[in-house]
Amino acid sequence: MFKDFYEGVDIPSDFDKELVSRAFRFAKVAHRGQKRRSGDDYITHPLAVGKILLDLGMSAEMVAAAFLHDVVEDTDIKIEEIKDKFGLDVANLVAGVTALKQIDFSTYSKPEEAEEAKNQAKNENLRQLFLSMAEDVRVVVIKLADRLHNMETIKSLSPKDQKRISLETLNIFAPLALRLGMGEIKGRLEDLAFPIAFPKEYKFLKKEANRRYKEADRYTLKVKREIEDELKSANISAKVEGRAKHIYSLYKKITRPEIDWDFDKVYDLVALRIITESESDCYKIMGLIHGKYRPIPNYVRDYIAAPKPNGYRSIHTTIFGPEGKICEIQIRTHEMHEEAEYGVASHLHYTLEKSSGKSDKDLEKGTFAKSNQTEFLKRIKEWQTSIGDAGDFLEGLKMEFLDERIYVFSPNGDIFDLPVDSTPIDFAYEVHSKIGDSCVGSKINGKIASLDTRLRTRDVVEIITSKGGTPKRGWLDFVKTSKARQHIRGYFRKFDFDKNVLEGKEIVFEELGLLGYNIDDFSEKEIKSSISETSFKTVNDLYASVGEGLTTKRQAAKILVGRTIRPLDFKKSTQSLTRSQKIDKYDVRGLKINLAPCCQPNRGDETISYITRGRGLTVHKVGCPNIKNLEKKRLVDYDPWRKDGDLVSIRIIADNRVGLIRDISGLISEKNVNIEKIENKKVVESEKTEVLIKIKLIDFTTFSDIIHGILKIEGVDSVKRSE
């Protein structure tokens, strides 16, 4: 098994084979008798992870840590023993990759409780992984290799686990690989996860793309031969190759609103890549190509002069080639190509080559030595200190660092990396906090633009400041970056409490109204109960926090409403239990469910449930003698074995345009929410349409995301929950 480990790999002279060999033998003994779901010996997994790292040119310490990365988690071996036998460096790497928590989920009486505990543990483990990664980037390279092999062997898991892990791979690990410039790993992860996460979309896209790939291959082969002839005539050494677009990258591109599944608008289904010897040759080749073929205006991208924030360098140009067809061409050096494929791993490889005679000057040529990679890791570490629980961390991580990014320029040509949908305010605070605080206006590409304008890649942004300028609370409704949000919130801490209460209350009432609630429908006890689970002493403290900008209006609404969506009918529907008792009908999902020991209800029994203070929900049989001693207003119509759920209605007023229903239903589907009914009708004496949607009752956060997401859809005027 291990004897073929080094086969086909160039091993550096200083590579510590003895360390790697000892680590393998130790791991093999530790995992003896353990099997993977596939039935293979467990040691095959760490061996495969180590091989991936070896192929990437990583150090002996990283390969040894890969062999040992599951030993602490899955055996009785402690990290101290790893430190004693293999040194502090290997032990720290193992600790960084090892999951934080080991929880016995069998202790939970309810499946939903165990599932929630699992999710919390996974989120906390991810949080610790990113903290370790910020300390040592090698940790995440090992983790990506670990995830890659797990995806390669995922078929042995249950369909449910396959889907969960694949979605996590698409949402977290593949974007992380891209953020670190590891394009090859990112592409492999996506291609493995996409068919499992979205099987219907994959099947359709694969069938349609395969047909078009054949035609694209034929065409690019023709262009390839013509370019090779041009390069030969110009005596320029270069390799020309075709590159088919990864299927998931194609999916993301073709679902963009401006393309909307129109394959004819995808010009890089198969692109040509030219790899040459030097940077100057890249520009010579671009000149030759533009001399032979007409480039499409505004489709030339020089990422050599202005690299992407993740360190990517290349020239992209799109031309009208033979037969008048459009073709994309990428031009880069061998070094740029290695960086584009392997990113931060390539940088680590450069560092290892110091001992083989490569000069510091040579090492610094790679963009990674000068890029934002280390800044990215530093920002993650700083950002984590301002985040609350693990769930908030994961949501914020995706938005702040892993979702699609844009990069914009200052008038001086400095490049800034921002989340998609960032605004001039986010840019201003990214430049400097004083610039953000005194911002009163902006110019984008030389033209005056509003401060909530969504920036696009390659925009040139100029901030207009004033000595009398101050932050505005309304900025919190559209800024994207945590840096901007923190500075704006900090400014409003200076305002007096009473003013913040009044302003915060108005903001919260407006948000509750949007979601279909009236604060007058909440009893004083309900409000106190909601506040008691937070750090706020009174509801006015909550309003003041919103007024200061410390708490968003959506967070405040979630606190007041709770984790679930409450029915709009606060008159309460009733059904007869006994002659003297009535039941309140609320949605109680999210509460801990307990079966009353006094009557021991079972599936099929007619039940009544009681909301206890601090202990969740207790289910009794109807007729249980203890019911008469309970507060009637805390009795609810809930059967833990009942599968049906209440419906929530949403009313939308929007422009009567083609594609509106598709955009709305698509957004709801992305949240994994079923649409039970959808209808629309034209608004009398108007060009507007009214859309009524009914969806299954869901958790408050998802419902709020849907409402706010619909508001952002083109042409939507208003959204409100309705009866």
Of the ranges 328-332, 392-396, 548-552, the best mean pLDDT one: 328-332
How, if at all, do strands 675-682 and 688-696 pair?
Answer: antiparallel
Report the chain's mean pLDDT, rounded to a whole number.
79
Of the ranges 176-180, 352-356, 375-379, 456-460, the best mean pLDDT one: 456-460
Residue 671: is its pLDDT beyond 90? no
φ/ψ of residue 91, rounded to 5? -60, -40
Residue 105: is its pLDDT beyond 80? no
Q: Supply the pLDDT for residue 360.
A: 40
pLDDT digits (tens, 9 = 90+) for 450-488: 999 999 887 899 999 998 888 998 898 899 888 888 888
Q: Where are the beta strands (DSSP E) in 445-554?
A: 447-449, 461-465
Question: Tokens representing 706?
Answer: 């849907």
More confident residue, 362 or 520: 520
Residue 151: is its pLDDT beyond 90? yes
User: If you search the block for the tokens 């049989």, which residue do you land on?
Assistant: 621
Residue 412: is its pLDDT beyond 80? yes
Q: Supply the pLDDT for residue 388.
A: 45
* CA separation for the pair 61, 54 (Å, rounded): 11
Question: Tokens representing 29?
Answer: 């003994």
Q: Which of 82-96, 498-512, 632-646 shows the lowest per-residue confidence on average (mean pLDDT)? A: 632-646
Whose CA is closest to 440, among 469, 401, 398?
A: 469
The arithmetic mean of pLDDT across residues 709-721, rounded, is 88
Among the listed residues 16, 41, 74, 437, the single catalytic one is 74
The arithmetic mean of pLDDT across residues 105-111, rounded, is 46
pLDDT digits (tens, 9 = 90+) for 616-666: 678 888 888 888 777 777 777 666 665 445 678 888 999 888 888 989 988
The arithmetic mean of pLDDT across residues 352-362, rounded, is 42
Q: Which of 109-118, 219-228, 571-580 shows the lowest per-residue confidence on average (mean pLDDT)? A: 571-580
Residue 180 pLDDT level (bands cut at 50, 70, 90): confident
**Whole-number percent of the chain with pLDDT over 90:** 23
Q: Supply the pLDDT for residue 227.
A: 93
Of the ranges 313-317, 344-348, 496-500, the best mean pLDDT one: 313-317
Residue 128 pLDDT level (bands cut at 50, 70, 90): low
Q: 719 pairs with which residues across the strands?
A: 652
* CA separation for the pair 46, 93 (Å, rounded): 14
Q: Supply the pLDDT for residue 455.
A: 93
Determine contact, residues 53/132, Cβ cutoff 8 Å.
no
Residue 359: is its pLDDT beyond 70? no
The arithmetic mean of pLDDT across residues 191-200, rounded, is 92
Q: Which of 263-267, 488-492, 696-700, 708-712 shows the lowest per-residue confidence on average (mean pLDDT)? A: 696-700
* CA separation for the pair 94, 61 (Å, rounded): 10
Q: How far is CA 560 from CA 289, 395, 456, 555, 651, in A?
A: 62, 21, 36, 9, 23
Residue 573 pLDDT level (bands cut at 50, 70, 90): very low
* CA separation for the pair 459, 406 (Å, rounded): 9
Residue 430: is its pLDDT beyond 60? yes
Residues 6+ apart with CB under 8 A from 163: 196, 197
* CA separation for the pair 179, 9 (Å, rounded): 27
Among the listed residues 14, 18, 40, 73, the single catalytic one is 73
pLDDT digits (tens, 9 = 90+) for 22-53: 999 999 999 998 988 888 899 999 999 999 99
Q: Supply the pLDDT for residue 75.
A: 86
Question: Tokens representing 384?
Answer: 């984590």
Q: Supply the pLDDT for residue 278.
A: 93
Question: Tokens representing 426?
Answer: 């986010």
Of the ranges 215-224, 554-563, 574-583, the best mean pLDDT one: 215-224
Residue 102: is its pLDDT beyond 60? no
* CA separation for the pair 497, 508 (Å, rounded): 16
Of the ranges 35-44, 170-179, 607-616, the best mean pLDDT one: 35-44
Domains of the chain: 17-194 (1.10.3210.10), 200-344 (3.30.460.10), 404-491 (3.10.20.30), 493-561 (no CATH), 647-722 (3.30.70.260)
Q: Supply the pLDDT for residue 317.
A: 93
* pTM listed for this prediction: 0.58
Whose CA is closest to 289, among 327, 325, 335?
A: 327
Q: Supply the pLDDT for residue 270.
A: 74
Residue 274: is its pLDDT beyond 70? yes
Question: Tokens representing 53?
Answer: 């790292």
Q: Within the chain, what is the greatest distance between any pair of CA atoms?
A: 98
Is 73 noted as a catalytic residue in this protein? Answer: yes
What b/e sequence results for 545-563 when a residue is b if at least 16 CB atoms lie within 10 Å of its CB, and e otherwise?
A: bbbbbbbbbbbbbbbbbbe
Whose CA is closest to 247, among 312, 197, 305?
A: 197
More confident residue, 132 or 569: 132
